[in-house]
């Protein structure tokens, strides 16, 4: 049932404040007399110590689920100190890459049925790793075959393009980071800020959804373009990849997400006054580096659309002209959850304007059960 919405993708984008609330329900333990704030992930409770002691955490997934893990990687590394590596499921299987008994392999999949991810899971099980599932589908193959796991509880996702599952996956992995991270006094303030940030996140997503009309206007401006680049780094490298994936899979416009740090190593050759480029430059430790990327793109007359934190519009475009998308600022590791929303809206509106099928893009299936 689409309710008041025209498409499932639109409905699923707009219901993210609610799906995120459901994802966190019962899992964030607030206050109490001694004001301890903790995270409770029932499905992992017997395995937390093993994960914490593992030599490496390997995230494995495809498409949007891979991007969600990439968004969560920095906070898992920061809070747990365990090295994290990333594997696209098919590539791990193609290479028969090394997976060891001392590894924790985390399988991220909305459907829990993706063939490539399932094959990688069988491979990791054979190699003796502890296998953890993060899925949105109770009773799915990945949920059943892993040793333990977390359900993201985002509710059924019908649109082929994954939207609310992506943001819920990131939130689950941020909670995973808190659960496996040690609670040393030195990290207490950071942990509490993240927990407070999580609790307030549905409100911030509600706020960013108000950009709907602005994104529709931007879509009108871009609808006849051939191509769109998205530059991000740090926490928002994943946002660049995921924003571009949304645009290409539903609107059928070519789009590439790129690591801004790689710009000078090739992509800069593409820059001219015609190619639209979205630069994600919200406030975090990478902000000044992104400012210098913007300056370099300006110097080459790049056609820029900058996503920045509220209040930064004037300063990010200093010395040049560009369109801005202002988003509410949240704790840095949660910013990808907020930043992806305008790009989901942009992909949605581009698709409607270009006259393509929003919920069932050509050649794609919701659950990819073949290799
Ligand atoms: C993109 C999309 C796909 C899936 C990928 C993995 O919007 O939906 O890229 O993310 O096929 O699917 P799951 O998460 O079900 O394993």
Question: For the segment 86-111, what is each residue's pLDDT rounded down to a tens digit?
Answer: 999 999 999 999 999 999 999 999 99
- Long-range contacts (CB closer than 8 Å, 24 or more residues apart) made by 80-83: 80/52, 80/177, 80/180, 80/181, 80/182, 81/182, 82/51, 82/52, 82/54, 82/55, 82/56, 82/57, 82/180, 83/55, 83/56, 83/57
Residue closest to 168 by CA, chosen among 181, 178, 154, 157? 154
Average pLDDT, the chain: 95
Residue whose Cα lies nearest atom 16 of ligand 1: it is: 109
- From the CB of 54, is ligand 1 less than 6 Å away? no
Q: Kindly state if the Cβ of 168 falls inside 6 Å of ligand 1.
A: no
Residue 8 CA to its chain's centroid (Å): 20
**Does residue 317's CB lie within 6 angstroms of at least one atom of ligand 1?**
no
Q: Using a 6 Å cutoff on CB, does residue 249 contact ligand 1?
A: yes
Cβ of residue 63 lying under 6 Å from some atom of ligand 1: yes
Residue 147's pLDDT is 98
pLDDT at res. 365: 83
Tell me the percentage of the chain whose pLDDT exceeds 70.
98
pLDDT of residue 31 exceeding 80: no
pLDDT of 33 above 60: no
pLDDT digits (tens, 9 = 90+) for 136-165: 999 999 999 999 999 999 999 999 899 999
Distance 65 CA to ligand 1 centre (A): 6
Q: How many CB atoms lie within 10 A of CB 29?
A: 12
**Element spanning 292, H or E:** helix 287-299
pLDDT confidence of residue 222 = 98
Q: Is the CB of 162 under 6 A from ligand 1?
A: yes
Over 60: is that where the pLDDT of 60 sits? Answer: yes
- Regarding beta strands 28-29 and 38-39, do their DSSP bridges make them parallel or antiparallel, or are they unpaired? antiparallel
Atom 7 of ligand 1, nearest CA residue: 161
Each residue of 215-255: pLDDT tens digit? 999 999 999 999 999 999 999 999 999 999 999 999 999 99
Q: What is the pLDDT of residue 9?
A: 96
What the block records as the tokens of 123 is: 């491979």
**Contact at 8 Å (CB) between 169 and 16?**
no
Find the 309 Cα to ligand 1 centroid distance in Å.
29
Q: Would you state the structure tokens that stand for residue 292, as one six-digit string?
A: 């210098």
Residues 158, 8: contact at Cβ < 8 Å?
Answer: yes
Q: Extract the runs of DSSP E, i.e. beta strands, from 194-339.
A: 227-232, 254-259, 276-281, 303-309, 323-327
Instruction: Give yes or no for a contact between 340 and 168, defined as CB atoms under 8 angstroms apart.
Output: no
pLDDT score at 364 = 86
Cα distance between the two ends of the chain: 31
> Is the C-beta atom of 62 inside 6 A of ligand 1?
yes
Per-residue confidence at 190, pLDDT binned at 50, 70, 90? Answer: very high
**CB 368 near ligand 1, within 6 Å:** yes
> Measured between alpha carbons, how far is 241 from 96 in angstroms, rounded to an integer?
25
51 Cα: distance to centroid of ligand 1 (angstroms) = 25
Q: Are residues 259 and 289 in contact, defined by beta-carbon separation less than 8 angstroms? A: no
pTM, whole model, 2 decimals? 0.97
Q: What is the pLDDT of residue 277?
A: 98
Residue bearing the bigger pLDDT, 85 or 321: 85
Instruction: State the pLDDT at residue 34.
Output: 54
In 3D space, the residue among 235, 338, 243, 323 whose CA is nearest the CA of residue 286 turns out to be: 235
Task: Name the residue among 310, 312, 311 with its Cα closest to residue 294.
Answer: 312
Res 104: pLDDT: 98
Asked if 56 and 85 count as a contact pair (C-beta separation under 8 A), the reply is yes
Spatial contact of 335 and 234, defined as CB atoms under 8 Å apart: no
Question: Which ipTM score applies to this complex?
Answer: 0.98
Q: In whole angstroms, what is the distance from residue 115 CA to residue 118 CA?
A: 5
Q: Which atom of ligand 1 is nearest to the CA of 165?
A: 14
Q: What is the mean pLDDT of residues 119-134?
A: 98
CB contact at 8 A, 337 and 205: yes
Q: Which residue from 12, 59, 60, 62 has its CB within 8 A of the most atoms of ligand 1, so it is best to mutate? A: 62
pLDDT at 32: 62
Model confidence band, residue 35 (pLDDT cutoffs 50, 70, 90): low
Q: Is the pLDDT of residue 204 over 60?
A: yes
Whether 64 lines ligand 1, by a CB cut-off of 6 Å, is yes
């Amino acid at each position: 049932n689409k309710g008041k919405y025209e498409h499932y993708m639109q409905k699923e984008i707009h219901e993210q404040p609610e799906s995120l609330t459901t994802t966190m329900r019962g899992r964030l333990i607030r206050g109490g007399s001694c004001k301890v704030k903790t995270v409770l992930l029932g499905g992992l409770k017997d395995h937390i110590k093993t994960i914490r002691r593992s030599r490496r955490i390997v995230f494995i997934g495809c498409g949007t689920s891979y991007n969600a893990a990439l968004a969560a990687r920095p906070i898992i590394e920061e809070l747990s100190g365990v090295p994290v590596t990333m594997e696209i499921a098919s590539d791990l299987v193609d290479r028969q890459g090394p997976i060891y008994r001392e590894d924790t392999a985390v399988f991220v999949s909305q459907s829990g049925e993706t063939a490539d991810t399932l094959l990688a899971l069988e491979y990791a099980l054979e190699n003796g790793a502890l296998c953890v599932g993060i899925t949105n589908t109770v009773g799915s193959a990945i949920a059943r075959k892993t040793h333990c796991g977390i359900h993201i509880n985002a509710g059924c996702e019908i649109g082929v393009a994954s939207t609310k599952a992506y943001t819920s996956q990131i939130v689950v992995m941020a909670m995973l980071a808190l659960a496996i991270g040690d609670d040393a006094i030195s990290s207490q303030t950071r942990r509490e800020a993240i927990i407070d940030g999580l609790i307030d996140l549905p409100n911030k997503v509600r706020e960013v959804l108000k950009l709907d009309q602005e994104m529709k206007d931007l879509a009108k401006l871009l609808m006849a373009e051939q191509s769109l680049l998205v530059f991000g780094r740090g926490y928002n490298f994943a946002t660049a990849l995921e924003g571009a994936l949304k645009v290409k899979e539903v609107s059928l416009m070519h789009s590439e997400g790129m690591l801004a740090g790689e710009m000078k190593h090739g992509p800069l050759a593409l820059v001219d006054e015609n190619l639209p480029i979205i630069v994600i430059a919200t406030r975090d430790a990478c902000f000044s580096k992104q400012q210098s990327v913007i300056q370099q793109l300006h110097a080459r007359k790049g056609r820029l659309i900058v996503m920045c934190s509220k209040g930064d519009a004037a300063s990010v475009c200093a010395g040049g002209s560009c369109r801005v998308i202002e988003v509410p600022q949240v704790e840095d590791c949660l910013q990808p959850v907020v930043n992806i929303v305008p790009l989901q809206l942009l992909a949605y509106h581009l698709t409607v304007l270009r006259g393509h099928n929003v919920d069932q893009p050509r050649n794609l299936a919701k659950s990819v059960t073949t290799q």
